[in-house]
Amino acid sequence: MKISLVIPCHNEANNISTLYHETISVLSSLHCNYEMIMIDDGSTDATLQAIKELSSTDSNVKYISFSRNFGKEAAMYAGLNNSTGDYVAIMDADLQDPPSLLPEMMKILDSHNYDCVATRRSNRKGEKKIRSFFAKMFYKLINKISDTEIVDGARDFRLMSKDMVNAIISMNEYNRFSKGIFGWVGFKTHWISYENTERSSGESNWSITQLFKYALDGIISFSQTPLLLSSYLGILMTILAIAMLLVIVVSTLIWGNPVDGWASTACIIIFVGGLQLFCLGITSQYIARVFLETKHRPHYIINNSNIADIEKIK
């Protein structure tokens, strides 16, 4: 039995060593083989150096260093692609995903008929209020408009069987939204909740604009409802226009045609123009992603790794 830990790291130099020691002490109680795949996602601090130090004393520590920052999604994909364990866990480097949960997760996966044990936060303690607010709105919205279930508060911290990992790897789309991919591939998943813990050191890598872009990626990757919405709006506006036309024709026939109403005409033109741009905007968001997918650019480029025969561009 071997467990692979996939750990995306971006500017986590201060957390690497603590994470390693905490995880090792947990793993030693499990008496299983392990590998830790740490992905240095274009860090500008001493993250890679810290990982290399660990790998020089522990050959189970593997590192993959990207040529630049490709984002957490790419880092997780690289880790999953190179994992060799029977079970694979994804864990943050900032200790917000407590390694102490691993034994319980292993036990559930071993003894029950599950392919995945996933975690969710029972609260958002310590998070900025504005971020919590938008996160809650996002989950409400996406679950209304998407067929794939995306669980509110779900972390990327999860332990999966090799079968599930292979299914995830087979989804090689460029715009990756793992929270949706995990749900889309299915498999029997057991959820466990835990209290949110604050970062061990450093700041969250996500700004509000990045989170907004990520949310948009999620919606567009896992729902076609915005496109439907723009079609429905088009139909609604056409019906409205026909109704207004009839009213104007009838009122002109009855009362004649006094020349007035230029203000309302201007309003209507601006309103309809805005609506058209809005719908065009929705369509463009989908086209932009189609454009990126068709270019088939690699998800990541590796410039340094201690894994033999690693595929450097993927």
Q: Where along the sequence are the contacts to ligand UDP (CB under 6 A)?
A: 8-10, 12, 41, 69, 71-72, 75, 92-94, 96, 199, 204-206
Q: Which is nearer to Mg ion, 23 or 146 (CB)?
A: 23
Q: Kindly state the smallest distance separating residue 75's Cβ from ligand UDP, in Å.
A: 4
Q: Which is nearer to ligand UDP, 29 or 67 (CB)?
A: 67
How far is 225 from 68, CA to CA, in rounded Å?
A: 34
Torsion of CA 72, 74, 80, 81, to 10 degrees: -160
Residue 199 contacts by C-beta under 8 Å, 6 or more apart in sequence? 94, 95, 96
Q: Which of 12, 41, 73, 94 binds Mg ion (CB under 5 A)?
A: 94
Check residue 156 for interaction with Mg ion (CB under 5 A). no
Give the Cβ contact number of residue 168 at 10 Å.
Answer: 23
Q: For residue 20, how many other CB atoms are within 10 A of its CB?
A: 23
Residue 11 within binding range of Mg ion, rule CB under 5 A: no
Both structure tokens of 313: 């561009």
Our CB check for Mg ion shows the closer of 43 and 223 to be 43
Collapsing DSSP to helix, strand or coil, 79 comes out as helix
Residues 6+ away with beta carbon under 8 Å from 168: 80, 160, 178, 181, 182, 185
Residue 107 CB, shortest distance to ligand UDP, in Å, is 25
Report the residue from 96, 146, 148, 189 that binds Mg ion according to the rule CB under 5 A.
96
- Which partner in Mg ion, ligand UDP, none is near 12 (CB below 5 to 8 A by kind)? ligand UDP
Which of the listed partners (Mg ion, ligand UDP, none) does 71 bind, with a CB threshold of 5 to 8 Å by partner kind? Answer: ligand UDP
Residues of this chain that bind Mg ion (CB under 5 A): 94, 96
